[in-house]
Structure 1
Amino acid sequence: MAATTPTLGPFPGGMDNRRADYDLRGGRDVGDLLRNAVNVDLTNQGRARRRAGFDLAQAGLDCHSLWAPRSGAFGLYADAGDVFCVRPVAGALQRVQIAQGYGMTSALSFAEVHEAVYFSDGLRVGSYHPVSGPTPAWVPQFGVEIQGRRLDALPAGHIVAFHRNRALVAVHNTLFYSEPFVPHLYDPAQNFMQFPGRITVLACVEAGIAVCADQTYFLPGGVPSASMVATLNYGAVEGTLTYQPGTGGGAAWMSPMGLVTLSQSGEITNVQESRVVVGTADRGASVYRRSNGLRQLISTLSDPGEAKAGIGSFMEAEIVRKETLL
C-alpha cells in the first residue's frame, strides 16, 4: 500500500526559521509554517502563489538610493553621480536630471521638507523644489545672522529627516537639528545630540523621533527633547527605513533581530524576532508594495561578506540539500 504524502498549508503565520524543519505544524491558531519562501507571495488567507517577474522601467549606469514621497507623485534616485526625478507621464516614466555631483561614493538620503525635498550624500547638500513655496534652498552658508543669533547651514550627513518644522541630519554618531521654520539653518553651539554609536535610522512620527544607533532610542516630542528612552537594546540596518503610504501611517525598518515598526503614537515593536532569524547585513532598503490586493513591506539586505560579481551587481545562490538515499 502506497504511503500518503502529507500536505502542509495554508500558511497564515508565514515563515518561522527558528523551528526545526520537521516541526512546522503551527497548531489550530497559527496554521502551518514555512521554513523559507523564495519568489512567492502569501495571500491574506495564507495561500502561496508565485511572485510575478519584472520589466525594465528605466535604464541607467549606476542607479541607487531610490526614494519617493508618501504621495508617490514622483521618485528621486542617483545615477552615476547625478540626481534624477522620475514621474509617470502618459503611461511611461519621464526622467529629468535635477542635480549633478552627488552619490559617486556613497548613498543619498532624502526627506520631505514641506513642499520641497532636502537631500545629502554625506559630502554635499542639496534641495529639490517641484513646486514653488516658502521652503528655502539648502545650500552651504556660514555666519548667517538672524535676530542677533549666528546660524550656519546644516552640515552634510548620511541621513536626512524632518520633524515638526525642524530638519535633522545624522553625521556618524551626531544628530544635528535646525531651528524651527528655518530648516536649512542651525545653531552650531547647541543644536546637536551625540550617541554612543553610528546613527543608522531616524524615524519621525507624530509622537516623536526614533534614533537607532548602538541601541534604539525614542525622543518624545522630537528635538530638543527633555528625555530620551532606550526602547530596544540593538540598532537598525542602515537604509531600511520606510513609511507607510498616506499621512496616518507609521514607520518600519529592519534590525539585526528582524522587522521593527513604529506607530504614530510612538510604540516600537519587533514583529519578527520570535519567529525569524535575520542574517548579518550592513545596509539594505525597504518598500511598501501593493499588488493584486496584497499590501506588503519588502526589505532587502546587503551581506557585507557577499561575493561581488562586478560593480553594482552580486550573485546569490540558495542550496537545498535533499535526503541521502541508502
Structure 2
Amino acid sequence: MLTFESFTGINNVLPEHRMSGKDLVQAQNVDIGLTGEIMRRGGYAEVSALCHKNVHEAPGFILATCGSALTAIHPDGARHIIHPAMGPERVWYCDLPDGRTTYTNGLIHGVTDGLIGMDRSVPAPASLGATDDSFGALHPGQYRYHLTHVRLADRLEGQAVSSEPIEIAMGGMRLDGLPVLEGHAINVYLSGKDGEGAYLAGVATGGSFEYTGTNAALVLPCRTLGAQAFPVGTITAFWRGRVLVAQGEVLWASRPSAPHLADWRDFKPLGAAITAIQPVDDGVYVGTTQDLIFLSGTTWDGLGFVPTRRGPVVLGSGVAAPGDRIKLGDGTGAGTAMLCIAGGEIVAGFAGGQTTSLTSNRYRTTAAEVCAAFREVGGIPQYLAVPQ
C-alpha cells in the first residue's frame, strides 16, 4: 500500500526527476482530504442499465437524455418524457427561481416543471387578419391594432405584431381571418387616435373579433410590444431576474422577469465563441475561446468589460461554487464564486473580478470540452470536469 507522510498534490507540469516524494503524476479513484490525506473514493450502485446523458440535477427532479428523449426522473422513480426527440447533441440547462428548468441544444429549446415540457417562447401571430368597418363609440380617425398569442396553459404572452394605420369612420372595428393557434387565445390591442400606444381591446378565441367600445376604455397597455422571442442559444444562466444565453460570440439577455422575451438591443458581442457563463454577486464571468471576461456591474446596461487574461476557457467548464470553500491567498473567498478551466489551469473567480489559479505551476489539462460540477463529499469540496 502506497503511503505519504506529506502529500502536496498532483503535478503533471514538472519533469518527474524534479519531483519530490510528496507529488503524484496522476491519481485514480481517490479522494483528497482537507489536510492532504489520500482516501479511496466511494463506490457507486447502478440505478438503471439504460444509457443516460446530459444529466442535470434540477430542483426536485433529475433531467437526462435517454436515447433521444429528454426525461425527468423523480425521487420516487417516476419518469416523464419532457421532449421526445432532443437528438444526440449536448443539452444545456438553467434553473429558474420558480422551480422550472430551461433546456436547449442550440436548435430545440423549452422549459419544464419536471412533469411536462413546453416551448420556451410563444410564437408571434402569423398574420394580422382582415379589417372591416363596424359601428361603435371610438372617435373617428386613424388607429393601429396589434395582436399577440397567449398560451392558455400558463397565460404566457408572446411578442406583438402591428398593423399599418387603418381608418375608423363609424366608431368600431371588426377583424376577420385571425390566425388561430391551438392552445392559444389572441389578445387584441388598439392604439389611441392617431396611432399612439397599444391598449387591450379584448380577447379573441376564434377567427373573428369586434370592438365597439370607447377610447376611454382602452387603458391596459401591451407589455410585449417591441419585444422578440428569446433567442435559441446554448450555454444558459440566470442573473438578477434575467436569463442569459450564448449564441456563438454573442451574449443575449432576456427581459427582466420575462425569460421568454428579449429586446433587440439586449445583446453584447464578446469577440470570440462563448464557452461559459457564470454570474457572481457583482457581475458575470463569461468564458470565451480567447479569454475569461468579467462583466462588472449589477445592471445589464451598466456591465463593464474587464478581461482577466487567464487564457481560453474550456467549453462547459464553468460552474458556480461557494466562495468560502475556495482558496484565495492564505485564506478563502466569500460570496458566490465560480470555477472554470482557463489557460489549461483550474481558475477561481470571485466578486470584483478577482481571479486566482488553483493549479498554477502544478497541473495543466489539454481538454477541449468537459462536463463540470462542484460538490462536497464528506466536507471536502471537489471540482469535477469529465472530458466530452
Partner of 2:369: 283
* 1:42 to partner: Cα distance: 1.7
* 1:173 to partner: Cα distance: 0.9
Q: What is the CA–CA distance in structure 2 between the aligned matches of 1:57 and 1:40, rounded to whole Å?
A: 22
String of CA shifts for 1:69-115, please: whole Å, max 9, x gaps: 4xx633212222221222323xxx4433222222x131111112211
Structure 1's 183 and 118: CA in aligned 2 closer, same or farther, altered over 3 A?
Answer: same
Residue 22 of structure 1 aligns to a residue whose secondary structure is helix
String of CA shifts for 1:197-252, please: whole Å, max 9, x gaps: 11000111221111111211111125233421001242311122222379954221
Partner of 2:55: 66
* 1:167 to partner: Cα distance: 0.9
Matches within 5 A, 1:240-255: 240-244=317-321, 249-255=336-342
Partner of 2:275: 200
1:25 is matched by which residue type in structure 2?
S
* 1:122 to partner: Cα distance: 0.2
Partner of 2:72: 85
* 1:293 to partner: Cα distance: 4.2
Partner of 1:235: 312
Whether 2:129 is the aligned partner of 1:139: answer: no
Q: What is the CA–CA distance in structure 1 between the aligned matches of 2:122 and 2:245, rounded to whole Å?
A: 14
Q: Which has the larger radius of gyration?
A: 2
Structure 1's 130 and 64: CA in aligned 2 closer, same or farther, altered over 3 A?
Answer: closer
CA contact (8 A) 1:201 1:241 kept: yes
1:112 is matched by which residue type in structure 2?
D
Structure 1's 73 and 249: CA in aligned 2 closer, same or farther, altered over 3 A?
Answer: farther
CA contact (8 A) 2:296 2:352 kept: no
Matches within 5 A, 1:1-326: 8-11=4-7, 13-25=8-20, 32-61=22-51, 63-69=52-58, 73-89=60-76, 93-102=77-86, 104-115=87-98, 116-130=100-114, 138-142=120-124, 144-145=159-160, 146-147=222-223, 149-188=225-264, 190-213=265-288, 214-222=290-298, 223-244=300-321, 249-279=336-366, 281-302=367-388
Q: What is the CA–CA distance in structure 2 between the aligned matches of 1:152 and 1:160, rounded to whole Å?
A: 18
1:172 is matched by which residue type in structure 2?
G
CA contact (8 A) 1:257 1:272 kept: no
Partner of 2:164: none
Q: What is the CA–CA distance in structure 2 between the aligned matches of 1:75 and 1:148, rounded to whole Å?
A: 33
Q: What is the CA–CA distance in structure 2 between the aligned matches of 1:88 and 1:248, rounded to whole Å?
A: 30
Residue 311 of structure 2 aligns to a residue whose secondary structure is coil
Q: What is the CA–CA distance in structure 1 between the aligned matches of 2:78 and 2:376, rounded to whole Å?
A: 22
2:29 is matched by which residue type in structure 1?
N
CA contact (8 A) 1:67 1:77 kept: yes
> Paired residues, what number?
279
Q: More strand per residue: 1 or 2? A: 2
TM-score calculated relative to the size of structure 1 = 0.76
Q: What is the CA–CA distance in structure 2 between the aligned matches of 1:224 and 1:100, rounded to whole Å?
A: 38
2:345 is matched by which residue type in structure 1?
G
Q: What is the CA–CA distance in structure 1 between the aligned matches of 2:303 and 2:75, rounded to whole Å?
A: 44
Residue 197 of structure 1 aligns to a residue whose secondary structure is coil
Structure 1's 243 and 24: CA in aligned 2 closer, same or farther, altered over 3 A?
Answer: same
Q: What is the CA–CA distance in structure 2 between the aligned matches of 1:278 and 1:197, rounded to whole Å?
A: 21
CA contact (8 A) 1:208 1:219 kept: yes
Q: What is the CA–CA distance in structure 2 between the aligned matches of 1:75 and 1:191, rounded to whole Å?
A: 31
Unpaired stretches in structure 2, ≥5 consecutive residues: 125-157, 161-221, 324-333
Structure 1's 73 and 245: CA in aligned 2 closer, same or farther, altered over 3 A?
Answer: farther
Q: What is the CA–CA distance in structure 2 between the aligned matches of 1:183 and 1:41, rounded to whole Å?
A: 39
Residue 226 of structure 2 aligns to a residue whose secondary structure is strand
* 1:60 to partner: Cα distance: 2.5
Q: What is the CA–CA distance in structure 2 between the aligned matches of 1:251 and 1:49, rounded to whole Å?
A: 26
Q: What is the CA–CA distance in structure 1 between the aligned matches of 2:245 and 2:339, rounded to whole Å?
A: 19
* 1:264 to partner: Cα distance: 4.5
Q: CA RMSD in A?
A: 2.8
Residue 24 of structure 2 aligns to a residue whose secondary structure is coil
Structure 1's 243 and 86: CA in aligned 2 closer, same or farther, altered over 3 A?
Answer: farther
Residue 139 of structure 1 aligns to a residue whose secondary structure is coil
CA contact (8 A) 1:244 1:251 kept: yes
Partner of 1:320: none
Q: What is the CA–CA distance in structure 1 between the aligned matches of 2:3 and 2:254, rounded to whole Å?
A: 58
